Amino acid sequence: MKLVRGRLFDFKNQANPFNLSENARYFEDGVLVIEDGKIFAAGDYSQLIKTLPANLTVEDYSGCFILPGFVDAHVHSVQTKAIASDGGELLDWLQNHIFANERQFENADYAYEHTRFFFHQLLKNGTTTAAIFPSIHPVSTEAVFEIASKLKMCIIAGKTMMDRNAPEYLLESPQKAYDNSKALIEKWHHKGRLHYAVTPRFAVTSSPEAFKMASALLKEFDKLYLQTHISENETEVIMVKGIFPVNHNYLNVYDSFGLLTDRTLLGHGIYLSDEELERIAEVGSAIVHCPSSNLFLGSGLFDFQKVINYQISLAVGSDVGAGTSFSMLSNLSEAYKIAALRKRKLYPFQAIYFATLGGARALSLENEIGNFDAGKAADFVVLDPSKIDLLAYRIQDAETIEETLFALIILGNDRLVKATYVMGEAVYKAGEI
Ligand code: GUN
Ligand code: ZN
């Protein structure tokens, strides 16, 4: 058993997730009690210490915030080097920068080296769980699962499937996509903390035959995820109408092939209609809002409030390389501004919720991660406000935890992350290799 002391903040996992003020838990001088990589207890230091054996090791982060590890629900492990590529809107950006970049992941040495760097970026930003898009190359997915398993991380990933409307070198037949995906599923799905997501990239790059193969995989294996993109860009939406004329809207393309389940993660969803949102609510799929990406590619202003009014599970994704930061704090800051432009209000508790317990719920992982309930994995991030002097100065006289968290979101980034823990072990410490 070991103790980690600091300012603990998380949310109780209640049936109504949006009673956030009631569900929020904050211990100014708190402690996590960790046993065998899991949370044994969490609470007020002076109270809990009385109930514990003496002489336990204490890792003391007094003054720092300790939050559940962040959930990045949509990120491309093969696009780290393509971040900040000036390429216009989505379809041009993919053609001009992304596809050529992803091609390099056919080489195993390249794939492992660059995927290690990608994981380092996740951890130095406090992200402990992610839903990851590698490239179409099986080795790019092998690299993700192998590195994640060494780090004991809870990860969702699956090789991208594409069979049209991309350069020849990134295409494979539906049968080959099926065979390659199946081999990866058999090797990695439900191994430790790893989960497989069938990953047709988006409707533009899949034929009906390829979607049938994706659907066959979902039927064949237990509790597979499906991740994809939807209605991110207006030109994309028009193109999908053209290539799937029998489907009456974008969502219906996925729906008609049986791809919508409560483990389906739909990236973006900016231009979804009321009818589509209603259907997503009905099937229990989740939407992943990717704020910095939507701004960078000029994709549009997502209306998060409308989505939660439909009681659809919502998570947040960095979507690097279109996203401009791996930091979930930076992405939440952009989400706040997008909401403001839509005359909506994203409250700080909501924002932190979407990047922790809410993200975990959207990914059906709330029994494993997302808060400090006893029995959950001890995956958490230590944030040191003194590392950004403007932030420390701003929160000196803050009157409530909401006010402090708001400043943390708006001004925070990877510089705040003092340490990141997975299963109770520090896998990243600022200033150490
Ligand atoms: N739609 C299809 N592929 C991609 C991608 O790689 N990034 C983003 N942002 N949208 C996509
Ligand atoms: Zn994406």
| pLDDT tens, per residue, the chain with 433 residues | 999 999 999 999 987 777 888 899 999 999 999 999 999 999 999 999 999 999 999 999 999 999 999 999 999 999 999 999 998 999 999 999 999 999 999 999 999 999 999 999 999 999 999 999 999 999 999 999 999 999 999 999 999 999 999 999 999 999 999 999 999 999 999 999 999 999 999 999 999 999 999 999 999 999 999 999 999 999 999 999 999 999 999 999 999 999 999 999 999 999 999 999 999 999 999 999 999 999 999 999 999 999 999 999 999 999 999 999 999 999 999 999 999 999 999 999 999 999 999 999 999 999 999 999 999 999 999 999 999 999 999 999 999 999 999 999 999 999 999 999 999 999 999 988 6
The contacts of residue 284 (CB under 8 Å, 6+ apart) are 261, 262, 313
For ligand 1, is residue 293 a contact (CB within 6 Å)? yes
Q: How far is the CA of 325 from the centre of ligand 1 (A)?
A: 15
48 close to 336: Cβ distance less than 8 angstroms: no
**How high is the pLDDT of residue 432?**
85
158 close to 138: Cβ distance less than 8 angstroms: no
**How high is the pLDDT of residue 236?**
98
Residues 116, 51 share a domain: no
CATH number at residue 169: 3.20.20.140
Q: How far is the CA of 319 from the centre of ligand 2 (A)?
A: 5
Q: At what angle do helices 328-341 and 348-355 cross, to 10 degrees?
A: 130
Residues 158, 45 share a domain: no
Residues 404, 289 share a domain: no
Residues 140, 126 share a domain: yes
Residues 96, 142 share a domain: yes
Q: Letter for the amino acid at 307?
A: V
277 close to 310: Cβ distance less than 8 angstroms: yes
128 close to 422: Cβ distance less than 8 angstroms: yes
**Cα 18 from chain centre:** 20
20 phi and psi angles, rounded to 5 deg: -70, -35
Residues, CB-to-ion distance under 5 Å, ligand 2: 319
Identify the residue whose C-alpha is closest to ligand 1 atom 8. 322
Residues 390, 242 share a domain: no
**How high is the pLDDT of residue 14?**
86
**Cα separation values, 175 from 46, 206, 207, Å:** 60, 12, 12
Residues 390, 356 share a domain: no
Residues 357, 227 share a domain: yes
Query: Which atom of ligand 1 approaches the CA of 236 most closely?
Result: 1
Show which of 342, 362, 382 is a domain's final residue: 362
Show which of 305, 332, 362 is a domain's final residue: 362
Q: If you ran DSSP here, which 8-state letter would residue 165 be given?
A: S
- Torsion 405-22-287-277 (CA) sign: negative
- Whether the model clears a pTM of 0.85, i.e. scores above it, the answer is yes
Q: How far is the CA of 98 from the centre of ligand 1 (A)?
A: 9
Show which of 362, 390, 413 is a domain's final residue: 362
Ligand nearest to the CA of 205: 1
Residues 275, 376 share a domain: no
Query: Which atom of ligand 1 approaches the CA of 205 most closely?
Result: 2
Residues 151, 128 share a domain: yes
**How high is the pLDDT of residue 44?**
98
Residues 47, 13 share a domain: yes
For ligand 1, is residue 232 a contact (CB within 6 Å)? yes
For ligand 1, is residue 202 a contact (CB within 6 Å)? yes
Sheet containing strand 380-383, strands side by side: 38-44, 24-35, 2-11, 57-68, 380-383, 417-422, 425-429
Ligand 1, pocket-test mutation among 94, 170, 227, most atoms within 8 A of CB: 94
Q: Give the domain range for residue 56.
A: 2-69+371-429
CATH number at residue 417: 2.30.40.10
Residues 23, 152 share a domain: no
Query: Which atom of ligand 1 approaches the CA of 319 most closely?
Result: 9
User: What's the structural domain count of the chain?
Assistant: 2
Separation between Cα atoms, residue 145 and residue 151, nearest integer Å: 10
